[in-house]
Amino acid sequence: MGNRQAELVWLNGRMVPKQEAFITPDDRGFLFADGVYEVVRWYGNFFLGMDGHQKRLRRSLAEMRLDGFDVEEFPSVCQQLLEVNQLQSEEALVYLEITRGASPRTHHFPVQPVPPTVYGFARRFQPDKHAGVAGVVIALLPDIRWMRCDIKSVSLLGNVLSYQQAKERGLFECIFHRDGLITEASHSNILFVRNGVLFTHPESPLILSGITRGIVLQLAADLGISISLEPVPLADLYTCDEAFLSGTSVEVLPVVEIEGRKIGDGTPGKITRQLQEAFKQLIIQRGIEFVRPIPPVINF
Ligand code: PLP
């Protein structure tokens, strides 16, 4: 660390040194995990899918009936977090959490409205390049989570306990099955290719509608790949030709083995590679768009 400047975080409308950012134990985020969050990726000069993240945050807050945070402020808070931590020209992740604020512990919402607690940080981040090339090995576990996985809530105990099991077994991620169908992964979405068709669970209360999942489906449609928004039955898992994860941190990440059984020939699949490349090109293109100088005005 040396003389590197202390990390600054956003807490309730101000930037403060992280070691001075205190939250009361009465905070409902602490007591009940009563809050929502978003994570956006900064690629050195632009946020990928900011509109989608903003829209999802607005939806999560509405579904939780959590008022008092102006979602219009989200991009500016993210930008400020990068600036004060000198991360503008780096690759980074920005995290923002909003809880139902502080109030003596009762299950019902505070009777007298209290302001939400808003906490944000930015962190330097780059995905594991090797994993992107070789693909990853993952676990398969029962989906023990609640029935509102569409809300990006900080109540992540089912995800945490499951992912910990995968990690202790040296695995990269875990995917879940519920009622005989594959839902998603602990902190990413899962997509499959079978006979040339791209399959993934439809948007529903049983999955988080990933912003990256949406981008990948758009890229697939642009490439003329057939898409089926149907969950893959557990029984068909090992007859899929390809599998990959999508997410803000993992981008498009090939899965080559699940629970010790190979997917396809055990190497990243062709359509997966195609989508990985399209995603990479999208990032390059977006980056160029963001630094492109304003064209001179042409007078006729
Ligand atoms: N599913 C879950 C449970 C997640 O936690 C995440 C991201 O954190 C995703 C899917 C992927 O969503 P996104 O692409 O918006 O990062």
Q: pLDDT per residue over 203-226, tens digit each?
A: 999 999 999 999 999 999 999 999
CA distance 73 to 60: 16
C-alpha distance across the termini of the chain, in Å:
57
CA distance 219 to 152: 24
Find the 229 Cα to ligand 1 centroid distance in Å: 17
Interacting residues of 126 by C-beta distance below 8 A, sequence separation 6+: 91
Q: Which protein residue's CA is at the shortest distance from atom 4 of ligand 1? A: 187
Find the 214 Cα to ligand 1 centroid distance in Å: 11
The mean pLDDT value for 289-298 works out to: 69
Whether the pLDDT of residue 299 is over 90: the answer is no
Q: Which protein residue's CA is at the shortest distance from atom 12 of ligand 1? A: 210
CA distance 299 to 278: 37
Torsions phi, psi for 51 (to 5 deg): -60, -45
* Ligand 1 contacts CB of residue 212 (under 6 A): yes
Question: Which DSSP letter does residue 5 get?
Answer: P
Average pLDDT, the chain: 96
CA distance 138 to 185: 9
* Ligand 1 contacts CB of residue 247 (under 6 A): yes
* DSSP conformation letters of 190-250: EEEEETTEEE-PPSSTTS---HHHHHHHHHHHHTT-EEE--PPBGGGGGG-SEEEEEETTT
Q: Which two tokens stand for residue 134?
A: 């070789």
Find the 224 Cα to ligand 1 centroid distance in Å: 25
Find the 187 Cα to ligand 1 centroid distance in Å: 5
Q: Which protein residue's CA is at the shortest distance from atom 10 of ligand 1? A: 188
pTM: 0.95
Find residue 191's DSSP bridge partners.
Answer: 244
152 is a catalytic site residue: yes
* Ligand 1 contacts CB of residue 184 (under 6 A): yes
Of the candidates 152, 262, 270, 280, the residue annotated as catalytic is 152
Please report the pLDDT score of residue 2 as a whole number: 46
The mean pLDDT value for 229-238 works out to: 98
CA distance 240 to 218: 21
